[in-house]
Amino acid sequence: MTSTLAFDVEAVRKDFPVLAREVHGKPLVYLDNASSSHKPRQVLEAEREFVEQHYSNVHRGVHTLSQEATDAYEAARSTVARFIGAQHDDVVFTKNVTEAINLVAYALGNPGSPVPLGPGDEIAITEMEHHSNLVPWQMLAERTGATLRWLGLTGEGRLDLTNLDQIVNERTKLLAFTQVSNILGTENDVPALVARAKQVGALTLVDGAQSVPHQPVDVAALGVDLFAFTGHKMLAPSGVGVLWGRGELLNALPPFMGGGSMIEVVQMTGSTYAKAPERFEAGTPVISQAVALAAACDYLSAVGLDAIKAHEVALTARLLDGIRELPGVSVLGPDSTEARGSAVSFVVDGVHPHDVGQSLDDLGIAVRVGHHCAAPVCRRYGVPATARASSYLYNTETDIDGLLDGIVQVQRFWGAA
């Protein structure tokens, strides 16, 4: 550990079994965290202990295991709620952030929606959204006849707010945007966007998939109406995500799916629905994954989200500085750590991103290549795809230097240097 880093990274690394392995005979350098993170022993053990000792279905039994499982599941909800500054009942467990956003988009279009949408109404998003926060709104617009509008991007990869007042206007019913872009790394100005939405009476939904794992987030302080994130990018297993919403809004939304556990009274002629969160958790929920997510929140809190953020800023600065020194390599997105996450997309002149990713893999370095489920961003900047390196709490300066050396080797190998 060096003095610029805010916690003992080597001690953290020891908690992640996979970091000890080799890939193609080289020590693994895992820089694909924006896609999915690895899991520490503490999270794996929490899930295993729950499944081995307390597992049963929840909310359904009087026997001891069912009660223990219910207690663990609801305690997990409380932990996750505390992690984002929320109340227990306002946290809905979903499969992932994609399901959380679809839940809202679906519910808003259902009969009884507190925000009925139709021709003449508008939904606003941004051009930097992950497909998960784009396609559901296209589908909602199609279902209801509403119009989808979006904020564009500047050359530097920031939101272009010059026409914010036209895009978010009196016809706007919902503004949905990402807190941090998964492809550009850009961190958006949530208070400014929320303030404009409030002026016109529009709801706000924030995609926190790339913020919650990496920095302190307090949904109450952000002033948003709805917020969603996903467990597998924050040390938890895949299969669990979260939708948070203001309590009165959640309870005014019609259900997304019908089934067991989400009802109050069921008759053959019709049913009434439970309050949130059960209202949106039809069927057997993601029980052990939620327990593991709570353990991941505890792990991140123990290291400290401020410290994690500072660590990532230092690594991102090192990577951006290093890339700037490399001729023929350019970054897509902000070139400084100001209002920026740790995902760095880059393009190597003369080498297709897939070849970049393949050649780096030969060196044991895992980066993501492709359009990163944000195809309109690639189109906006005229590239077919990018390579993306994204660091997390267990990455080191050595990882970043290894990547920079690796890019030079890729250039030489492909005759692009």
Active-site annotation, residues: 373
| String of DSSP letters for 345-375 | EEEETTS-HHHHHHHHHHTTEE-EEE-TT-H
> Can you tell me the distance from the alpha carbon of 324 to that of 408, in angstroms, rounded to the nearest whole number?
13
Number of residues that bind ligand PLP (CB under 6 A): 15
Q: Please say whether the dihedral angle defined by the alpha carbons of residues 10, 15, 16 and 21, taken in this order, is positive or negative.
A: positive
Write each residue from 354 to 383 as x if it is in contact with ligand PLP (CB under 6 A), else as -, in one continuous string: -------------------x----------
Distance of closest approach, residue 119 Cβ to ligand PLP, in angstroms: 29
304 — alpha (psi -120 to 50), left (phi > 0) or beta?
left
Q: What's the CA gap between 315 and 310, in Å, rounded?
A: 9
User: How far is Cα 209 from Cα 169, in angstroms, rounded to an integer?
Assistant: 26
Query: Which CB atom, from 35 or from 396, has the smaller least distance to ligand PLP?
Result: 35
Give the three-state DSSP class for 254.
coil
Interaction of residue 132 with ligand PLP, rule CB under 6 A: yes
Inter-residue contact 18 to 394 (CB < 8 Å): no
Select the span of 93-101, 159-167, 266-274, 297-305 touching ligand PLP (CB under 6 A).
93-101
Question: 348 - beta bridge partners?
Answer: 329
Phi, psi at 132, each rounded to 5°? -65, -25
Q: How far is the CB of 62 from ligand PLP (least distance, A)?
A: 35
Q: How far is the CB of 137 from ligand PLP (least distance, A)?
A: 13
What are the structure tokens assigned to 121, written together?
Answer: 């109404």
54/372 with CB nearer ligand PLP: 372
Please report whether residue 69 would count as binding ligand PLP according to CB under 6 A. Answer: no
Residues in region 166-185 near ligand PLP by CB under 6 A: 178, 182
Using the minimum distance from each CB to ligand PLP, give the nearer residue, 54 or 340: 340
The only residue of 38, 77, 130, 279 in contact with ligand PLP, by rule CB under 6 A: 130
Which window, 63-71, 128-136, 242-250, 295-303, contacts ligand PLP (CB under 6 A)?
A: 128-136
* Window 232 to 291, contacts with ligand PLP (CB under 6 A): 232
Of 129-137, 216-224, 347-355, 376-384, the segment contacting ligand PLP by CB under 6 A is 129-137
Phi, psi angle pair for 9, to nearest 5°? -65, -35
Site mask, ligand PLP, residues 204-233, x = CB under 6 A?
A: ---x-xx-------------------x-x-
**Bridge partners, residue 117, by sequence:** none
Say how far apart CA 400 and CA 216 lie, in whole Å.
24
Q: What angle do CA 145, 147, 149 make, to 5 degrees?
A: 165
**Least CB distance from residue 214 to ligand PLP, whole Å?**
11
Strands 263-267 and 270-273: antiparallel
Using CB under 6 A as the binding rule, whether residue 98 contacts ligand PLP is answered as: yes
Binding site for ligand PLP (CB under 6 A): 35, 96-98, 130, 132-133, 178, 182, 207, 209-210, 230, 232, 373
